[in-house]
Amino acid sequence: MTLRGRLTAAFLAVVLGPVLLGAFFVASTVASVDRGRSTERLAVAAATVRTAVDALCQQLRAAADAVALTPDHAGAAGQVVSRGLAAAVRVTDQAGRVTYATPGSPPAPWRDCAADAPAFGPVSALAVRVDLRDPAGVGLGAVAAAQPVDPAFVARLAAVTGVAVTLLDGAAAPARVAHTTEATGVRDAVLGAAGRVDGEAVTETADGRYVRRVGPTSGQPLPLVLSVPSDQPPGLRGALVGAVLLAALLAVAVAWRLARVTTRPLVELAGAVDRVAGGDLGTRVPVRSRDEIGRLAGAFNRMTRETGSYVAALTSSRDQLRGHLAVLGDTLASTHDLQRILRVILHSAIAATGARAGAVLLLDSGGVLVAQCTEGLDGRLPADDPPDSAPLRVPVGAGVVGAVAATGEARRGRIEPSEVPAGEPRCQTYVAVPFAAPGAAPADPPGRGAESAAAARPGDPAPRPGVDPAPEAGALGVLALYDRLGADEFDDDDLRTLRTFAGHAAVAVDNVRVHEEAQRLSLTDPLTGLWNYRYLRESMRREVERANRFGRMLSVLALDLDRFKQVNDTYGHPAGDAVLAEFARRVRGEIREVDLAFRQGGEEFVVLLPETDARGAAIVADRLGAAIRDTPIAVHGHGGTPVTLVVTVSIGIAVYPDHGTTGQQVLDAADDALYTAKDAGRDTWRVVSARRTPPVREIPVPAAAVSPADGFPRAGAGPAPPAGGAAPGEPEPCGAAPDAARAGPAGGASSGPHPPRQTRGR
């Protein structure tokens, strides 16, 4: 066979095969969809019929119950009928004789809603029968409430279901029509199809209607037939056959023409393709005409030229991109410095896309995009905006960058100078891509919130600038580039490249957050939201060094819940956990922002009060005891029973340096004072009665540092610091005055896991 014949045959096979398959598919799909829709429609109608009949039966049962429960059966029956709850009420005695019946009752037979056996013969009414008994439970008869089953009833069912409804005259064969909403010409077809239906299956009539029987069954004693017309357009198959024949004729004509025009230059084109496939990008095809084949030859020549240029450019870009990715990979693997990582990402993105400027913006907790690193934005911000040295800030939803963050969709394009949104850099072209965290951010432990964030002090672990939790889970920020070299717009390739770098930025931010979250979890208690024992040791060392450096006092409160073991033994450990969490929340509410609260383990807690003497610590202890004692704690006991517990706390107070020269000595002194408070009857506080064992090396202390006669050491009674209140070369420590700051609560502490600790029974 010649090339022209093969092309013609191939074209016909390619064209006619799908046409035939498409015609068959359309015909079968239309029929299947039509049957499926009709079946679904009939299923919904059947469910609606059952629901309507069941609702009617429930209504009749309520009416019969109302009559049976009222001594005046006649009066109650009249009210039931007048209110439309039933069309008729009949009262019978034990022998089945009618003692009372409302006027206008429908004729027998009445079909009971609870009947299990199929109905034989006509059904004139639906009824519900309720036994009538005296107060002693002796049967007196029955009350029956009925609703007629007439053409109006069938019409209401048809209106509710949206399909045609036919009521058969009994369930026995041959079936006869009692009432129907079908047209006269289709009743026989529907009735014949209903006789062939097995159960509630759907069948199709000769004229294209779909039929389904519903009942009689328990709860729906009426023998009903539902039917809907077919939605399939008439003459569809004939139209499909005509379309296939017409397509075949057109395909033959087109195939012959295309084969004739295409055959001659194909040999030359095939040879050129073989040479290009061998790597010879300098191959050219002679253009012999200006028709499609000629344009194909010209396009082939242009393709080979541009392909050569692209190969050279891609080779250069590949080498450059490999270098950027190597630097980026080394940076991501070697550091958690977010600013450095973002600078490398931004620089690489600018170099890969040929942009003149760019910025990486992250969402802060207030829903504002804040630039973490920028490049090339000097002089691009409007004159009325903050200086270029200030961070670029864009509210979410405002301008181009804000809209990208709000919608989560990347944008690129050209913008006129007069249309640059307020607060954003001046540019002619831009491309901005949002990025989100690879996974959901870790949830905060119970009790950790604004108070724990506010409790951070200099030297404490704190979130890194620019990586605060975003307002919405997963949202991080936007990577934006401006003014591509050559004044051309950024294209789709630049958009895909920028998405790659934005993904690296998301991974970098998420890694930093995970690293910081791991650090936080290692220092905090997940149940109470307080610092753990590990961080207590570090904080005690730091606070003692600070107090010693500035000549200030540091008070330590050792707290222990009274009889806490009874709570666990009586109400269970979940109740005990709830008490501990509520206790921690109240402690946070009664201390200052500069104070620190810790959970040592079990029901033992410690509070550090910087720059506070024993008198100030006593004020805090009083306030803590009242806060716990005055408001009972609501918990759930065994079986979820709500229980209100009155909880008290014993507190021991020790002061550095009066009761110890090291952090451990002061902690031990506070623990001893706690046991003194326990021995005094609990629900109280005690200060260490005497100074603990002096250190091995004695340090001369000026007379001004001695505690007064009342036994309460005063803050600042130690060696006075140099002028200005700070040691040489040290900043003045922050915090309110020891006594004045105790007037009200402020701040809180943070949360996390803690190591186990052996405690004495209390």
Residue 411's DSSP bridge partners are 432
Q: Edge-to-edge strands of the sheet including 604-610?
A: 596-601, 604-610, 554-561, 649-656, 685-687
pLDDT confidence band for 731 (50 / 70 / 90): very low
pLDDT digit string, tens, across residues 575-612: 999 999 999 999 999 999 999 999 988 899 999 999 99
The CATH classification of domain 533-743, taken from the options 3.30.420.40, 3.60.21.10, 3.30.70.270, 3.40.50.720: 3.30.70.270
Q: Where in the chain do CATH 3.30.70.270 domains reside?
A: 533-743
What is the C-alpha separation between 557 and 410, in angstroms, rounded? 55
- 335-519 carries CATH number 2.40.100.10: no
What is the C-alpha separation between 492 and 489, in angstroms, rounded? 10
CB 648 within 8 A of CB 566: no
pLDDT digit string, tens, across residues 613-653: 999 999 999 999 999 999 999 998 887 889 999 999 999 99
Block residue for tokens 């029509």 = 177
Q: Where in the chain do CATH 3.30.450.40 domains reside?
A: 335-519
pLDDT digit string, tens, across residues 319-374: 666 666 666 666 666 667 778 888 888 888 888 888 888 988 888 877 888 888 88
CB 157 within 8 A of CB 166: no
Give the model's pLDDT for residue 659. Answer: 93
pLDDT digit string, tens, across residues 131-182: 888 777 777 788 888 888 888 887 888 888 888 877 777 655 556 776 777 7
Residue of 452, 221, 475, 433 whose CA lies nearest to 345: 433
Q: Give the torsion sign (CA, 349, 354, 359, 361).
A: negative
* Helix, strand or coil, per DSSP, at residue 458: coil
| Radius of gyration of the chain, Cα coordinates, nearest whole angstrom | 44
pTM: 0.39
647-to-526, 564, 567, 595, 632 alpha-carbon distances in Å: 22, 8, 9, 23, 7
Axis-axis angle for helices 3-69, 236-277 (nearest 10): 130
Q: How far apart are the first and last CA of the chain?
A: 104
Task: Choose between 656 and 326: higher pLDDT.
Answer: 656
* CA 644 to chain centroid: 34
Helices (H) and strands (E) in the chain, counts: 15, 23
Tell me: pLDDT of 73 over 80.
no
pLDDT confidence band for 452 (50 / 70 / 90): very low
Report which secondary-structure segment, H or E, holds 518: helix 492-521
What is the C-alpha separation between 38 and 42, in angstroms, rounded? 6
* CA 351 to chain centroid: 37
